[in-house]
Chains A and B, each alone.
Chain A
Amino acid sequence: AQSVTQPDIHITVSEGASLELRCNYSYGATPYLFWYVQSPGQGLQLLLKYFSGDTLVQGIKGFEAEFKRSQSSFNLRKPSVHWSDAAEYFCAVGAEYGNKLVFGAGTILRVKS
């Protein structure tokens, strides 16, 4: 069965600093991998998706993620964080059938000015 681990529950970065959110997954085959962002009381917005091809994936809002099969990781990065990036970020892995996603526990990002 698939599983996702996001080791950091909270991360605080200064505005303008770089960001990396960690994600490790467990899945036997080549996974579908996603990053979503959620603002308080809202639904989830897709940042980016990986399935195959280039292991560095570009997403919206200046985010990118790198797939590393050897480390079973799919870390999210942004070179310069803005105050509006403060939110909760979820990494997810897709199932082998259908569109079911297994989500990690999430990482809450705080941005300090």
Chain B
Amino acid sequence: KAGVTQTPRYLIKTRGQQVTLSCSPISGHRSVSWYQQTPGQGLQFLFEYFSETQRNKGNFPGRFSGRQFSNSRSEMNVSTLELGDSALYLCASSYGPVGEKLFFGSGTQLSVL
């Protein structure tokens, strides 16, 4: 079974631009979560989607948004990029609705210049 696939692996953008990151979950998994990882703040939860519905949202500004498609693939979008958005963005998928094991992708390393 293929793992969680995130594309692209690396991304370089400039301030003010927007970016879209993609995540393909493990086949059959219905939940997709996104996390931001930085050296200063560690791993922070962005949001979770389950069957195309956003169920949980972390404490991030509205510039961060996401969606999930009917095939469970998910995208997250960051608009008006700031230098502080430079981070490793990790996607995780899981099968069920509560307390499930999360399976993580390798992440997208975003650098904002």
Contact = CB atoms under 8 A, between A and B. Distances in A.
Given A43-B106, A97-B56, A105 B42 contact: yes
Chain B binding site: helix, strand, loop or mixed by DSSP? strand
Chain A binding site: helix, strand, loop or mixed by DSSP? loop
Interface centre among A43, A101, A102 (most CB of B within 10 A): A43
B99 A100 contact: no
Contacts of A49: 101
A90 B92 CA distance: 15
Contacts of A100: 33, 45, 48, 56, 58
B90 A44 contact: yes
A51 B98 CA distance: 11
Interface string B73-113: 00000000000000010101010111111111111010000
Contacts of B4: 43
A46 B92 CA distance: 11
Interface string B27-38: 000010101000
Nearest to A44: B104
Interface residues of A, number: 24
A69 B54 CA distance: 32
A66 to B, nearest CB: 19
Contacts of B105: 43
B55 A98 contact: yes
B101 A42 contact: no
16 contacts: A36-B104, A41-B106, A41-B107, A42-B106, A42-B107, A44-B90, A44-B92, A44-B102, A51-B99, A94-B99, A95-B56, A98-B31, A98-B97, A98-B98, A101-B45, A103-B42
